[in-house]
C-alpha cells in the first residue's frame, strides 16, 4: 500500500476512520495514494481547536499573518512543479495548466499577505457632541471552506488566504476525489508556521465531513464552491444555524459572436472557453450564441479547430485536453451528447476517445442547431460540450444570453463599441468579457455571479474582506 495521507487537526496528522484511494483519471492503473477520511468527531475536534486557538492568533496582529502568507506563497512557488504534477495526475488537467494554477495559488497567498496589512476602518463624526464613532472590521471566527474538484489548488487558496489574512481560523474540506493537492498545500501551511488549530484539513465525503462542518455550532461562516444542488442543501442547513454564507455555484455561460466579430479572435476565444480544461470550468462557454451572417463560417472553423485538439493523458506533453475527472462525470457527459441528438441537434464529435492508457477520455462536442429552450442549452454539463444557438441580431443575442437560470460569466465577440457597451450593461452576469474567453480571470479582482450562480458576498480581490470579516461600530464619549 502507498503511504497514508492524514488529516491535519489541531496541528496533528490524524487518520480518520478509513482510507480512500486516489486514482489518476488519465491512467486508472496509477494509484496516487491513500487519503484519510475524517469523521464527524474529527470535525468537532478541529472546530473546538480552531475556536480555542483564535484569541492568540488574533492577538498576534496583521504583520505575523502577512509574513506567514508570504512564506506560504514562496514555498508554493518553490514547489509549483511537483504540486502541479500532483494536480495534473489527480484532476486530469494538462501539466502546463496545472502548474499555472499552482502558481496562481501562490500569487493569491502573496496578494492576501498584503491585504492583511490593509484592513481599513472609518472614523465618522457623531450626531452627538463629544462622541466619537469608529467602524472597524473583525474576523468572523471559525470558517468552514468547502471546495470542488476542478481547481484543487486555486479555489482552496482563494478561500484559505483571505480567511487567514483577516484573522480567522480555517476548517478546509477539499473535494473527496482530489485530496492530493489540498494535502500538499496543507503541509506547506503547517510547515510555514501556521499555529496549531488555525488551519485544519478535513478530507472525506461531503455527506459526512461537509455536513458536519456546516452543522457545527462553533463554525460561524461557510464558504462553498460547487454544484447548485449541494449549494442549496448547504444554504438550508446554514440558515438553521444562522451562519454567514458564501456560495459559488454553476454556470451556463453564454458567448455571443456577432456578424462583425473578428474570426481570428472569436474562434480561439470559443475554443479556449468551451473546451480547454476539458470544459470543466464553472466559467466555460457552454452556450455559443451566433449571429446568422457569420454563423456558418464561424461553426466551420470552430469545428475544425475543435476536432484538431489532441485529447490525451494530462502528463503527456502533446495533450491539449486531458481526461474527464471521473467515470460518473464521463457518463453524465455522454448522456448529454445522446440527449443533444435526441433533442434535435446536429452533434459534431463527443464520443469516447481512444487513449494510450485506460482513462476517461472524451472527444469535445459541438451541439449545432440548438435552441435555448433545450435541456442541453439550459443545464450545466461541466464537460467539453458546447451548444450553438443561431440568432438574428444583437437584441435577440442579448435576450437569449440572459435567458438562463445562471449568471456567472458572459462574453461577446464584436468589433462594435456600441454593441460591446450595450452587452456589458445589459447582461445579467457577475463577469463580462469583450473579445476574450468567458473563462480565465485575474486573481486580484472580484469573482462571482448573479442569479443561480452565486449567493452572498463576492470572492477574491479586496471584496473578500466582506465575507471574512464582520463590522463593529464603536461609540465613545471622552467627557
Ligand atoms: P459538488 O457540489 O458535488 O461538491 C462540492 C463540494 O461540496 C465537495 O467538497 C463535496 O464533497 C462537498 N459536498 C457534497 N455534499 C455535501 C453536503 N451535503 N454538505 C456539505 N458539503 C458537501 O461539486 P463538484 O462536482 O465538486 O464541482 C463541480 C461544480 O462546482 C460545478 O457545478 C461547477 O460549476 C461548480 N464550480 C463553481 C465555481 C464558481 O466559482 N462559481 C468554481 C468551480 C466549480
pLDDT tens per residue, range 54-91:
999 999 999 999 999 999 999 999 999 999 999 999 99
Residue of minimum CA distance from atom 31 in ligand 1: 227
Displacement of CA 296 from its chain's centroid (Å)? 34
Overall pTM surpassing 0.85 (yes/no) = yes
Average pLDDT of 157-186?
98
> How close is the Cα of 150 to the center of ligand 1, in Å?
9
Burial letters 240-267, b for 16+ CB under 10 A, else e: eeebbbbbbbbbbbbbbbbbebeeeebb
Are the C-beta atoms of 92 and 360 separated by less than 8 Å?
yes
Displacement of CA 328 from its chain's centroid (Å)? 20
Of 205, 186, 206, the residue nearest 196 (C-alpha): 186
> How close is the Cα of 362 to the center of ligand 1, in Å?
22
3-state class (DSSP) for residue 254: strand
3-state class (DSSP) for residue 384: coil
Beta strands in 127-220 (DSSP E): 131-139, 142-146, 169-173, 199-201
Question: Please, what is the Cα angle at 135 between 129 and 136, to 5 degrees?
Answer: 145
Average pLDDT of 407-432?
98
Residue of minimum CA distance from atom 11 in ligand 1: 206
Whole-angstrom CA distances from 278 to 178, 206, 299, 363 are 16, 24, 19, 9
Are the C-beta atoms of 209 and 43 separated by less than 8 Å?
yes
d(CA 20, CA 354): 28
Regarding beta strands 346-349 and 365-370, do their DSSP bridges make them parallel or antiparallel, or are they unpaired? antiparallel
Strand ranges across the sheet with 27-37:
4-5, 27-37, 18-24
Ligand 1 near 282 CB (within 6 A): yes
Closest ligand 1 atom to Cα of 146: 9
Closest ligand 1 atom to Cα of 148: 26
Catalytic residue among 194, 270, 282, 385: 282
Residue of minimum CA distance from atom 39 in ligand 1: 248
pLDDT band at 478 (very low <50, low <70, confident <90, very high): confident
Indicate whether 215 pLDDT > 90.
yes
Length of the chain: 479
> How close is the Cα of 384 to the center of ligand 1, in Å?
18
pLDDT tens per residue, range 85-129:
999 999 999 999 999 999 999 999 999 999 999 999 999 999 999
Helices (H) then strands (E): counts for the chain: 15, 23
Q: What are phi and psi of 425, to 5 degrees?
A: -80, -30
d(CA 165, CA 465): 9
Give the per-residue pLDDT at 2: 54
Give the contacts of 264 (CB within 8 A, at least 6 positions apart).
none
> How close is the Cα of 214 to the center of ligand 1, in Å?
14
pLDDT band at 479 (very low <50, low <70, confident <90, very high): low
Q: Let me know if 282 is a catalytic residue.
A: yes
Closest ligand 1 atom to Cα of 231: 2
Catalytic residue among 79, 90, 91, 248: 248
Q: What is the mean pLDDT of the chain?
A: 97
Ligand 1 near 248 CB (within 6 A): yes
Residue of minimum CA distance from atom 37 in ligand 1: 249
d(CA 299, CA 386): 12
Give the per-residue pLDDT at 3: 81
Ligand 1 near 455 CB (within 6 A): no
Question: Please, what is the Cα angle at 372 between 366 and 377, to 5 degrees?
Answer: 45
Facing residues of 169 across strands?
A: 142
> How close is the Cα of 177 to the center of ligand 1, in Å?
11
> How close is the Cα of 147 to the center of ligand 1, in Å?
6
Ligand 1 near 176 CB (within 6 A): yes
Indicate whether 467 pLDDT > 80.
yes
Q: Let me know if 413 is a catalytic residue.
A: no
Ligand 1 near 211 CB (within 6 A): yes
CA atoms within a 13 Å half-sphere pointing along the CA-CB vector of 444: 8
Indicate whether 448 pLDDT > 80.
yes
Are the C-beta atoms of 170 and 145 separated by less than 8 Å?
yes
Amino acid at each position: 500500500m502507498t503511504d497514508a495521507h492524514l488529516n491535519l487537526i489541531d496541528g496533528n496528522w490524524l487518520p480518520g476512520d478509513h482510507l480512500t484511494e486516489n486514482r489518476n483519471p488519465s491512467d486508472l492503473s496509477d494509484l496516487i495514494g491513500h487519503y484519510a477520511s475524517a469523521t464527524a468527531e474529527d470535525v468537532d475536534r478541529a472546530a473546538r481547536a480552531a475556536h480555542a486557538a483564535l484569541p492568540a492568533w488574533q492577538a498576534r496582529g496583521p504583520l505575523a499573518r502577512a509574513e506567514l502568507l508570504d512564506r506560504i506563497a514562496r514555498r508554493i512557488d518553490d514547489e509549483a512543479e511537483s504540486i502541479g504534477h500532483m494536480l495534473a495526475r489527480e484532476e486530469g488537467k494538462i501539466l502546463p495548466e496545472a502548474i499555472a494554477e499552482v502558481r496562481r495559488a501562490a500569487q493569491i497567498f502573496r496578494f492576501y499577505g498584503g491585504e492583511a496589512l490593509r484592513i481599513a476602518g472609518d472614523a465618522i463624526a457623531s450626531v452627538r457632541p463629544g462622541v466619537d464613532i469608529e467602524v472597524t472590521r473583525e474576523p468572523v471566527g471559525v470558517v468552514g471552506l468547502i471546495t470542488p474538484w476542478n481547481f484543487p489548488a486555486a479555489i482552496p487558496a482563494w478561500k484559505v488566504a483571505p480567511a487567514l489574512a483577516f484573522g480567522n481560523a480555517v476548517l478546509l474540506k477539499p473535494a473527496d476525489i482530489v485530496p492530493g493537492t489540498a494535502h500538499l498545500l496543507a503541509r506547506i501551511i503547517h510547515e510555514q508556521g501556521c499555529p496549531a488549530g488555525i488551519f485544519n484539513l478535513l478530507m472525506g465525503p461531503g455527506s459526512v465531513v461537509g455536513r458536519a462542518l456546516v452543522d457545527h455550532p462553533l463554525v460561524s461562516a461557510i464558504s462553498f464552491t460547487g454544484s447548485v444542488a449541494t449549494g442549496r442543501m448547504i444554504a438550508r442547513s446554514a440558515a438553521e444555524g444562522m451562519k454567514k454564507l458564501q456560495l459559488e455555484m454553476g454556470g451556463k455561460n453564454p458567448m455571443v459572436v456577432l456578424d462583425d466579430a473578428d474570426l481570428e479572435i472569436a474562434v480561439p476565444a470559443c475554443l479556449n472557453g468551451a473546451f480547454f480544461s476539458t470544459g470543466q470550468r464553472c466559467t466555460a462557454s457552454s452556450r455559443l450564441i451566433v449571429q446568422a451572417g457569420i454563423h456558418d463560417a464561424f461553426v466551420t472553423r470552430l469545428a475544425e479547430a475543435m476536432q484538431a485538439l489532441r485529447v490525451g493523458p494530462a502528463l503527456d506533453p502533446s495533450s491539449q485536453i486531458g481526461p474527464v475527472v471521473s467515470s460518473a462525470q464521463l457518463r453524465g457527459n455522454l448522456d448529454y451528447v445522446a440527449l443533444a441528438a435526441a433533442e434535435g441537434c446536429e452533434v459534431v464529435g463527443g464520443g469516447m476517445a481512444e487513449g494510450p492508457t485506460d482513462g476517461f477520455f472524451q472527444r469535445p462536442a459541438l451541439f449545432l442547431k440548438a435552441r435555448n429552450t433545450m435541456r442541453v442549452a439550459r443545464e450545466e454539463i461541466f464537460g467539453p460540450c458546447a451548444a450553438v444557438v443561431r440568432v438574428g441580431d444583437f437584441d435577440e443575442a442579448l435576450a437569449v444570453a440572459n435567458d438562463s437560470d445562471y449568471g456567472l460569466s458572459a462574453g461577446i465577440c464584436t468589433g462594435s463599441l456600441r454593441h460591446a457597451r450595450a452587452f456589458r450593461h445589459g447582461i445579467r452576469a457577475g463577469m463580462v468579457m469583450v473579445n476574450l474567453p468567458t473563462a480565465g480571470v485575474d486573481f486580484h479582482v472580484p469573482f462571482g455571479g448573479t442569479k443561480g450562480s452565486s449567493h452572498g458576498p463576492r470572492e477574491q480581490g479586496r471584496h473578500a474582506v466582506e465575507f471574512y470579516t464582520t463590522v463593529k461600530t464603536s461609540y465613545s464619549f471622552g467627557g
